[in-house]
Amino acid sequence: MRRPLSPTLAKLAEKEVNETPDRIQQDIIILRVWIRQQPHLRARTDDDFLIAFLRRCRYSLEQTKRRIDRYFTHYNLFPEIMNNRCVTQRLLDINRLGVCLYPDMPKGDSRTALFIARFGHFDPNLYMLREIYHFTSMAMEIVALENDYASLAGICEIIDLEGVSSDKMRRFDKVLFRKWWNWLYNCGPLKVKEMYIINMPKDIQGTIMFLYNILSMQVNYPIRVLKSSEELIEHIGKETLPEEYGGTNGHMGECMAYMEDLLNSYRGYFDQDCHYGTIEELRHDEVTHYEAEFGASGSFRKLNWD
């Protein structure tokens, strides 16, 4: 049974993603029937998973179908990240590095949830970047299922470059990064609403600004480069940031412990991951269904789009 939303979250759900409680079960059934009708597609059909994708697509059924298809197609296109997603001791060790943090997991408000990436906190001699992305894909899926603030209001991404040296940038795999970015933007179950880049060392400014210029042209949300955590407080507020960034939203250690508990509780969920993906030989040519003629991008209903 889907957990009920508080009155504040219910209003947020209606405003941000067009969620109507009386319609959710109908939409879930429509998606399950559609998934069963796709011979090439092996997709999850549990309520929370489908609701996360419906929210990501603001309840446009056709957009949800396309995103679910792309998501499971990437089990083939992005195997270095999407294959063998199991909760192992090495995965738990990566979580304890604090490279990727979700401070709003235990707490939140009507703002976007936070995701903090600290790539200076892992040793490339001990861990590969694809392992970090591998962990992040699993953590973000859990967040989409567990954190209603994240699935409704989206996420605010903070890229903290403290400790990222020119040597680490030379090892930076641009091909892997482009694939990851495509997965995050076009396939993932969470919507990034804004991004902040902080603590940029001088010796990597040229490389980072080059990436910044490319990304700024590809996305429809703001990317801001800030000089310090103090500037971050001005944009986000103390009540959302962890104490290590001058905020009041708990400690990073609490975030890591909470995510570890979640990862352990999702062991069975990820053990089933090997059953999902696509069989491209069975894929039919895409057919426009009757409902694609109605609503915003195929919802056969009127939606309130910005």
- Could you read off the pLDDT of 258-297 as tens digits, one per residue? 999 999 999 999 999 999 999 999 998 654 443 443 344 4
Main-chain dihedrals φ then ψ at residue 276, nearest 5 degrees:
-115, 160
Angle value at C-alpha 192, between 222 and 86, nearest 5 degrees: 145
Residue 297 pLDDT: 44
- CATH class entry, domain 1-279: alpha beta
Which residues make beta-bridge pairs with 156?
114, 194
Residue 306 pLDDT: 41
Q: DSSP class of residue 194?
A: E
Task: List the chain domain ranges.
Answer: 1-279
Angle value at C-alpha 145, between 140 and 150, nearest 5 degrees: 65
Residue 293 pLDDT: 35
What tokens appear for 153 in the block? Answer: 């209001």
Q: What is the pLDDT of residues 104-114, one digit of tens each?
A: 777 666 678 99
Three-state secondary-structure class, residue 91? helix
Residue 109 pLDDT: 66
Distance between the two ends of the chain, CA-based, in angstroms?
A: 31
Residue 292 pLDDT: 41
Rounded CA separation 276/142 (Å):
16
Prediction pTM value: 0.88
Residue 86 pLDDT: 96
Residue 285 pLDDT: 63
Cβ neighbours of 101 (radius 10 Å): 26
Give the chain's residues under pLDDT 50.
287-300, 302, 304-306
Residue 301 pLDDT: 53
Rounded CA separation 306/290 (Å):
24
Angle value at C-alpha 157, between 263 and 257, nearest 5 degrees: 30
Rounded CA separation 169/176 (Å):
13
Three-state secondary-structure class, residue 241? coil
- Alpha helices (H) along 110-165: 129-146, 148-153
